[in-house]
Structure 1
Amino acid sequence: MKKTSIRVLLAILFVSSKLQAQSVAVADLQKWPKGASPVEIGKRVADRFIATLHPNFGRPTPPKVITYPEVCAWYGALKFSQGSKDKKLKQALVARFEPFFGPEANMVPLPDHVDYCVFGCIPLELYTQTKEQRYLDMGKNIADKQWGPPEGPRVKPESQGFYDKGYTWQTRLWIDDMFMITAVQAQAFRATGDRKYIDRAAREMVMYLDSLQRDNGLFYHAPDVPFFWGRGDGWMAAGTAELLRSLPADNPDRPRIMEGYQKMMASLLKYQDEKGMWHQLIDDPESWPETSCTGMFAFAMITGVKNGWLDQKTYGAAARKAWLGLTSYIDENGDIREVCQGTNKKNDRQYYLDRRRITGDMHGQAPVLWCAAALLQK
């Protein structure tokens, strides 16, 4: 071989190896710029959670019961304390729960609605980390009530029909449910090892996927509201990832759930902007970058890459970009900006574009903590 040919070949190999190394770096979920690591960010946001009183959807008055956004942030903080091995943080999170066994017992939500039952995630995670029986008793009771017979003022005409078919009577076919329901049932499975919890959550998930997922992999906010609202889809993305990470390989519903999850993740890649963000209306470039949905989608992708369900090169790069974009919205207090306020459904594009943008709302704080915890998983 001529010397010129050898030099050309070596140059090609050098460029190829350099491009490959750059590709790996872009998709790397281990090394981060100073101030953007999951340990640093998670600590700031978790400490902010500890310092925050029980929120009430932005109202100045305290809530009557613990709200689901606080539950979601609390769960993320507990998972982060475990992943970062922060014993002081864990102790603070345990201490925050203690009043529910005494003077604040009335703040424990009644398990008669999906947004209330998700509270069970917290005592079940506390049990997993501490092995104190009282946490298991509380959390297991909530998970069992969710699949018990319909009772109470929230029962609707269709509730009995869902119950008779083996679904929770709290079924309402809102995409939010696929985090609220699957999270507490998956937690009950992790705490007890009893497969009934995760098996029934999986069956419920399949019903929601079959009923609500669109051909493009995304989900309308509701069947009668044809808009791909960011956080609504975020609940589904996070819920499928949370379920799949503990769903046994031999569960008959696992292939269908994995199919729906991967289809959604592939669709989301198309809508991530150049700064790593997803928007208030996912497919509407005129809508604003929204942090709570970005955090939820990032969590779903991080979890998928870590568990080998998603291609690391493609989705690792998207997840890294999302995390760096997301952390740029966190202020000096540990509060994240540009969080869509609590939102009901409405068949009106402008309604979604005009939603108030909040700083420090738990809807946005929670997924930052989920991401930080997921990034720390080996």
Structure 2
Amino acid sequence: MRKKIFILLITLTTCQFLYAQSNSLKDFPKGFGPKEVGKRLAYRFLDRKHMLHNGKWISYPETFNWSGALKYAALTRDKKLLSQLEARFEKLTSQEKELLPIMNHVDLNMFGSLPLELYLITKDKQYFEMGMPYADTQWVVPQNANAKQKEWNDQGYSWQTRLWIDDMYMITIVQAQAFKATGDRKYIDRAAKEMVLYLDELQRPNGLFYHAPDVPYYWGRGNGWMAAGMTELLRVLPQDNKDRRRILEGYQTMMKSLKAYQKPSGMWNQLIDEPDCWAETSGSAMFTYALITGVKRGWLNKEEYASTARKGWLALVPYINEKGDVAEVCVGTNKKNDKQYYYDRPRNTGDSHGQSPYLWCTYALLEK
């Protein structure tokens, strides 16, 4: 009898554990639900001034904040939000046309991912025609290219290659969007080839990434761009792509390390491996997005990683203030071979560097 009771208890405990795991990314306390959080963040974007690159063009943080709000609107079928986001974009084709980024740098070409997102949602050809040149020119060497840029091109890589970890979201996202919009394998195949280059050059044995080959620090948001970039690529990369296994391996190795470095609070630090560094929201949100997606897509073991993803989300939400602005966001950060530089970076509230990945988390949680 005791043996039967023991077996029954073990069975019940196992079932309860499996139930908890299966619902850990679905059931949240009041105020933490992805739909309500996403609505606060997406509508907040409508009230924001433009965040410009060099004071001239729509910046990559604004681009990703915008596209994140669009994806949220489409997923939740919020027609009012979608209409308002599209109306704001229409200004870029008229009175704000000078704010459209030029196509000569990795941080500017990524803008094409935004009109391509609008095309994927609305099927309006004007968005396709606006977005595709940004994807195409990443692999068209300009006449004034320097010797190193030409060398990258000769090897089949983007002439915009520079081996900064940020690039693996900037390049990946626009090429992935072009693939989704056209079905042409060349876009996703060349993005995968580029990703393997960065994995080979920058990922360390512990799974994390240096900011650049000459900057041996594990900067949070930089690693976040890499985590999110691999996630976006794996979402659409065909199973028969020759580089998929290598990229999945790099992703899983990184997620294992991030699980180990997650703070008891659920956050990750500005320098991931430095216990005395401050908790930073944008990188933490990017890691959480990658973890949520990996669990839901089956790239990660649910029993091992679902609780890590949930812990990250529950830690992130309290950083959103009453206006819908995310606090403790590291400002834009160039590479520098100086550890103290990363400790001393200013922190913003409401910076699109942070607003964007929070939105990614909301639609990742809402996806079936």
Which TM-score band applies after superposition, normalised by the shorter structure?
over 0.9
Q: What is the aligned partner in structure 2 of residue 118 from structure 1?
A: 110
Q: What are the within-5 Å matches in structure 2 for residues 76-91 of structure 1?
A: 76-91=68-83
Alpha-carbon offset, residue 302 of structure 1: 1.0
Q: Distance in 2 between matches of 1:168 and 1:287?
A: 35
Which one of the candidate residues 13, 21, 28 is aligned to 1:18?
Answer: 13
Alpha-carbon offset, residue 222 of structure 1: 1.6
Q: What is the aligned partner in structure 1 of residue 163 from structure 2?
A: 173
Q: Indicate the SS of the match to 1:328.
A: helix
Q: What are the within-5 Å matches in structure 2 for residues 1-378 of structure 1?
A: 6-14=1-9, 16-18=11-13, 20-22=15-17, 24-25=19-20, 28-56=24-52, 63-152=55-144, 155-378=145-368
Q: Indicate the SS of the match to 1:306.
A: helix
Alpha-carbon offset, residue 12 of structure 1: 4.9
Higher mean C-alpha displacement, 229-238 vs 312-321? 312-321
| Deviation per residue, 1:318-347 (Å, 9 max, x gap) | 111101100011111101111011112222
What amino acid sits opposite 2:168 in the alignment?
M
Distance 1:196 1:343, change over 3 A: same
Name stretches of at least 5 consecutive residues in structure 1 with no aligned partner.
Answer: 1-5
Q: Indicate the SS of the match to 1:186.
A: helix
Higher mean C-alpha displacement, 231-240 vs 159-168? 159-168
Alpha-carbon offset, residue 151 of structure 1: 3.8
What amino acid sits opposite 2:366 in the alignment?
L
What amino acid sits opposite 2:194 in the alignment?
E
What amino acid sits opposite 2:39 in the alignment?
K
So what's the TM-score if we normalise by structure 1? 0.94
Q: Distance in 1 between matches of 2:167 and 2:208?
A: 15
Alpha-carbon offset, residue 19 of structure 1: 5.4
What amino acid sits opposite 2:107 in the alignment?
D
Q: Distance in 2 between matches of 1:21 and 1:56?
A: 50
Q: Distance in 1 between matches of 2:265 and 2:10?
A: 27
Alpha-carbon offset, residue 146 of structure 1: 0.9
Higher mean C-alpha displacement, 174-183 vs 214-223? 214-223
So what's the TM-score if we normalise by structure 2? 0.96
Q: Distance in 1 between matches of 2:75 and 2:122?
A: 15
Q: Distance in 2 between matches of 1:16 and 1:341?
A: 50
Name stretches of at least 5 consecutive residues in structure 2 with no aligned partner.
Answer: none
Q: Distance in 2 between matches of 1:277 and 1:12?
A: 38
Alpha-carbon offset, residue 304 of structure 1: 0.8
Q: Indicate the SS of the match to 1:158.
A: helix
Q: Distance in 2 between matches of 1:160 and 1:10?
A: 72
Alpha-carbon offset, residue 7 of structure 1: 3.7
Q: Distance in 2 between matches of 1:317 and 1:151?
A: 51
Higher mean C-alpha displacement, 35-44 vs 217-226? 217-226
Q: Distance in 1 between matches of 2:105 and 2:55?
A: 16
Alpha-carbon offset, residue 226 of structure 1: 1.3
Q: Distance in 2 between matches of 1:262 and 1:237?
A: 10
* Runs of 4+ that moved beyond 3 A: none
RMSD after superposition = 1.5
Q: Distance in 2 between matches of 1:9 and 1:334?
A: 53
Q: How many residues align?
A: 367
